[in-house]
Amino acid sequence: MGWLWGVRRRFWDGLVLIKYRGNKPAAIPPAPTPGRRLEPVSLARSLPGVSTPHIVTADHVPADEASRSKAWFVRFQVAMYRLFPAMQDGVPEVDPDPKTALAEAYTAAHRRRFPSPILPPEYEPADLGTLAVASPYACYVERGDSGRYRWDLRGLDSYQLHPGLLPLGVEVEFEVDEAARALRATAIDCELGRCRPGDADWDRAQRLALCAATNHLSLVRHYNWVHLAAGAPFAMATRNALPADHPVTRLLWPHFYGTQFTNHLTTQGQMLKGGDFEGIFSYTHAGMCRLFDDSYQQHDLTVVDPVHDAVRRGIGGAGFDTPALDTYVAHFDVFRAHASRYLRLYYGSDGDLRADEHVQAWLAELDQLTPGGIGAVLGPSVTFDVVARLAAVLIYLATTHHEILGTGMWNYQMWTHVQPVRVYVSGRREPVDVYQRLVNANFMLNVRRAPLMQDYSHVALDTGAADAFRAFNRDLRTLQTALEQEPFACWKVYPRALEANINA
């Protein structure tokens, strides 16, 4: 058993390292003449074996995005899921020492390509109150009916789990410490019962709460909502409804280029039977598919607008500090200023925008393709300000929001002694095959992609627009400098680390 796992692990580590080394940042070309229209089809139809009838994807990949070598590599990877799976029954648990476990899974060959993760101070010990406002999980805290605050992840308990796991339906209650302007976790309702600090099961309940949060964040908020529910409609509608030489196309082109091809590849590697999602997280393949299909229909684009989302969750001016939200809003403000400055070059008034038939067609198609529509962001009428805000939301989606939920997990998700991806009824730790796959999947999220902080003036229609792109770059550098003056934090998002889009 030991020798076979050693061979299996070396094979899959080697494949991941080859894939990481071979991935080069995409050179974003000028927008080409539109090709064949992208038609919406069920993901279940385009990817047989994935039972998600409500999820919609494009019927083909645009020719300017496709890469034959990447497509063949993924086909080989998927074939090996069947022939020589990354998982193996009977392997031991991960080492109880988290640093030893990481050192065994994250080899010297990995570290030569990307640095090891940092253990967040909020994990020593776990501090849910701090994590609720200063971590990738800051998106979950909301005002409850009682006037207290909560994480409400109770809906996760209705999906099929791998054998031997505790159900993930969890609600965490927080109260405000007014003197410290902070949140304190006061109770957790979960499969273990109602637990409070000091109870015998409190530490285990915290681990279960973080397990629920990380399952939901990676599966639903990141992949389902960013890639499938929002990113795909954004790319499809913009390609279909707007000409290549339209100013809105050029404004958004760096941020949706490559989306359809990325989704085409990653759904195969992650959502098919034997893929990463089934192999890493708590749900069986059937449970994962049901979770995706249900949560896709629950998507609300407001979650991508940090200002409106904070209002919806009732956390603005609530008597506690929100450092992660404040940083996210600072990014969003830069994107909104960029969209307004750029669009003002072409539209002098609300009437000018409403008179643009291409913009009207784009908004209509985006509303039709996006589950839940775009009305919550767009509002009741088309004005310059709301269209600029929508453009900023789409840029934020592909850059900052994607970073928070994807590579932003690097310093959090590997420390499974605090934040596991599976919690076993028996109390055992994750087996080494699950942990190895978790490490490799997060490692691959950190491949080099086209950076946001570079000059995209080559996609501009004219000199004025080129200057607007350069001004955007300057604003990002100013924000980078301001954030560097603040103390470092594992959760903090820096413009220099952002990618221009979700291209794999």
**Residue whose entry in the numeric block shows the structure tokens 């031997």:** 164
**CA distances to 41, 249, 252, 335, 359 from 246, in Å:** 26, 5, 10, 19, 9
User: Do residues 417 and 364 make contact, with C-beta atoms less than 8 angstroms apart?
Assistant: no
Pick the CATH number of 128-207 from 3.40.50.2300, 1.10.1370.40, 3.20.20.10, 3.10.450.60: 3.10.450.60
| CATH code, residues 2-24+37-119+220-497 | 1.20.245.10
**CA distances to 72, 164, 261, 414, 452 from 85, in Å:** 18, 21, 25, 21, 36
List alpha helices for 281-378, DSSP H.
Answer: 285-297, 306-313, 323-343, 350-354, 357-369, 375-378
**Residue whose entry in the numeric block shows the structure tokens 């796991």:** 165
pLDDT score for 504: 56
pLDDT score for 262: 94
- Would you place residue 32 in the very low, low, confident or very high pLDDT band (cuts 50, 70, 90)? confident
Q: Which two tokens stand for residue 502?
A: 């979700």
pLDDT score for 308: 95
pLDDT in tens, 122-152: 999 999 999 999 999 999 999 998 778 999 9
CA angle centred on 401, ends 442 and 405, rounded to 5°: 30
- Is the pLDDT score of 215 beyond 80? yes
What's at 68, amino acid-wise?
Answer: R
pLDDT in tens, 260-315: 999 999 999 999 999 999 999 999 999 999 999 999 999 999 999 999 999 999 99
**Residue whose entry in the numeric block shows the structure tokens 């420390």:** 415
Question: How far apart are alpha carbons 321 and 337 in whole angstroms?
Answer: 25
Going by their DSSP bridges, the two strands 170-177 and 149-153 should be labelled as: antiparallel
pLDDT score for 286: 97
Q: Which ranges in the chain are annotated with CATH 1.20.245.10? A: 2-24+37-119+220-497
pLDDT score for 146: 77
Mean pLDDT across 236-242: 96
pLDDT in tens, 50-81: 999 999 999 999 999 999 999 999 999 999 99
User: Do residues 144 and 159 make contact, with C-beta atoms less than 8 angstroms apart?
Assistant: no
Q: What percent of the chain has pLDDT over 90?
A: 91
Non-local (6+) Cβ contacts of 99 within 8 A are 119
pLDDT score for 378: 81
Q: Which ranges in the chain are annotated with CATH 3.10.450.60? A: 128-207
**Residue whose entry in the numeric block shows the structure tokens 């496709």:** 66
Whole-structure pTM value: 0.97
Question: How far apart are alpha carbons 158 and 169 in whole angstroms?
Answer: 8
Sheet holding 193-195, edge to edge: 142-143, 149-153, 170-177, 182-190, 193-195
pLDDT score for 13: 96
User: Do residues 220 and 295 make contact, with C-beta atoms less than 8 angstroms apart?
Assistant: yes
Question: How far apart are alpha carbons 254 and 375 in whole angstroms?
Answer: 24
60 CB neighbour count, 10 Å cutoff: 16
User: What are the backbone dihedrals phi and psi of residue 264, each rounded to the nearest 5 degrees, phi first?
Assistant: -60, -40
User: Do residues 364 and 235 make contact, with C-beta atoms less than 8 angstroms apart?
Assistant: no
Mean pLDDT across 107-133: 96
CA dihedral 224→296→253→484, nearest 10 degrees, is -50
- Would you place residue 439 in the very low, low, confident or very high pLDDT band (cuts 50, 70, 90)? very high
- Is the pLDDT score of 23 beyond 90? no
Coil, helix or strand at residue 182: strand
Coil, helix or strand at residue 317: coil
Q: Which two tokens stand for residue 303?
A: 């979650």
Q: How far apart are the two ends of the chain, measured CA to CA in Å?
A: 35
